[in-house]
Structure 1
Amino acid sequence: MYKLDLPQDLKEAALLEKRRNAEQQRQDRIFNTKVRTIGVDRQALDVQTHDKEIQRETEGKRDEAYELQMTQHDKIASLLDTRQQEEIRNLNRAVDMFRLSYQKKEDRREYDLYDPQSLKKDLPARVSDEDPRCSVSGVQKLMGEDLNQEQRKKAQQEQLREWSLQQQYEWAKGLEDQKMADSLYDKMRIELDQKAMELQEMEESARKAVCTFTKTFNKAQAAEMSKRKELEKKLETEDNMAEISNLLQGDLLSENPDQASSVFGPHRVVPDRWKGMPPQQLQEIKNVQQQQILEQQRLKDEERQKAAEWDRHRVQAARAMLLLERQQKRQEQELRKAQDHINQQLAQAHQAQKTYMDKEVFTNAPTDKFFDQFNKSSR
């Protein structure tokens, strides 16, 4: 019915054969240790060679660009150097012109040291005897010459005459001044003596007046002092008597309870005057204390009753808790028994499942044929 001998597709067969050959070559290359470790990948080397050529070509182009750029920079540097040299020459030329115009050698400070016309411009060695340049070492003027002897003598005589007149005038004036000073001194001594005598007399009279006044004043003071003492003694005696009378008749010694009343109200007293409470107040205090004792006794009885009631409640609560604990223990025992039964059933089921898996499921153990199928392909 069916035609099974169909012609095979040649293209597909060729492709399949090519794939098988490639796989075989790959296996030979991979599983061959010598070829894998020592062999050379030519295709990779060709790629590397091509990359190297491209790199060298790129570097060559880059070097050419650098050379062109370097040449251009050299030209620019040469132009800048030429311009700088020209500017330096112009600057030096300007400096020279400035020196020729404003810094001449005639204007120098030390030009007189090497001036060729210095001898013509200089003064003679000696102008006159008063020339300050005629020093001892210059030998332009000797001590024994005395060229101005006549003028010098006249000047000396005139100077001596003036000195003599001046001395005579000063001596006469000194004598006159001395006489005047002596007369003034004598007059002043006389006036001082007179003033001293007058002052002494005035001092004596003043001393006498002071003594008289002091004596009178002391007498008056003594009389006044005696009167004051008598008056003070009398007043002190009267004050003492009045104080004794007041103390005897006052509320302090009589122990009047009304004296302790305060002006701020009847419920307040003056502490330093209070003599104690009256019998009525003491009785009231005792009554209040008795009432407080009875109240304390009543409170203690009530607390005792409350404590007994709480004790009964506590005993009942403890009994209820004991019964509840017993019931909880019984329930826990029942739950534990049920849990043990369930665990036993689970253990039996687990054991049965394990036996089934070991005897029925895990029976196909791997053989050498299973492991030989590995490492048979390059993929």
Structure 2
Amino acid sequence: MPNTILQSDRVALACLRRKQRVENDRRDRIFDDRERTIGVDKEALDKQIKEKKEQDEAQKAQKKAFESELQQNSRRAWLLERKEARDRQEVARATCGYWHQQQQRLQNRADSQDDDGGTEVSIPGLVGIDREYMERQQRQKVQLREWLTQQQNEKAAEREKQKLERQQNDQNRVAMDRKLMQLHVAMTDTRRALAVATKDFNQLKAEEKGQRGQLDDGEEPRPSVVGVPGLTAKSDWKPPPETQQQVIEFRKCQAEERKRMELERQREKERADLDQINLGRTALLLERKQGRMNKTLRQQLDSTNAQLAQIQKEQMPDIKRGQIDDTFFSFFNTCSR
């Protein structure tokens, strides 16, 4: 029989496919980040874009104003440089004219003096004449020589002082190394003593454990024919009253011996616990003492390093500067001509 599809089924199938296509299109619109408009604040996005454009325009305007101001400043600087150059040229031209005028006047006076009789007359206060130039040069050379000698002596004293400080630092370092070595030796001895005590304690515990195991193995001995007199291997044999009394006494002795061994074992356990506590306390005290010694040595080392750094910081500027004070410049002639 051929497969036949009814008209109603075709219509239902077409309607179902149309709904599926519509649903797929709706999902594409909703879940596509570029095309969807649901769940997006368009006004806020437009406002952000507008604010960004305004910021870009403000930055461009600010940059343009800065460039304009920079150009104006550059032009002003160029004009000031030209003005200063012109002023320097005018000052140089006036100075040359003045020198030429004074030289011409002096030449005229010298000619008139030669004509009068050749008498040499010194005119004080004239520009360009320095009669004490050579003497001042000699004094400056002497002062410079004395200053250089003083500087060399001070540098030699500074080097000697630094050498002594380095020696002192080396001595302090050696003393600190010795203290550290002594502390290391003390720590090594302490650890060795603690290891020996621990070893002895463990050996003692092992021996006690072995003895305890032997005692536990022989704790309930079976009565034998040799141990209890009068007993035989016959099952129907009844011991006499004297022999039964001896067995009772023997069992009482065994019970007392077990009690005594249990008490001795408990005492040994308490003694071992006490020894272990003492060893732990001793190790704790040694560790605290070592911590205090390390802290003290560290504080001493930090204090020494801080003092050396302060001394070096205080002395470094004087070495770089050369120890030049204001009294050196007072030796020179600073009076005007």
Q: Do they fold alike, i.e. is TM over 0.5?
A: no
Bigger Cα Rg: 1
Into which bin does the TM-score normalised by the smaller protein fall? under 0.3
TM-score (normalised: structure 1): 0.21
TM-score (normalised: structure 2): 0.22
Highest RCO, 1 vs 2 (Cα 8 Å, sep ≥ 6): 2
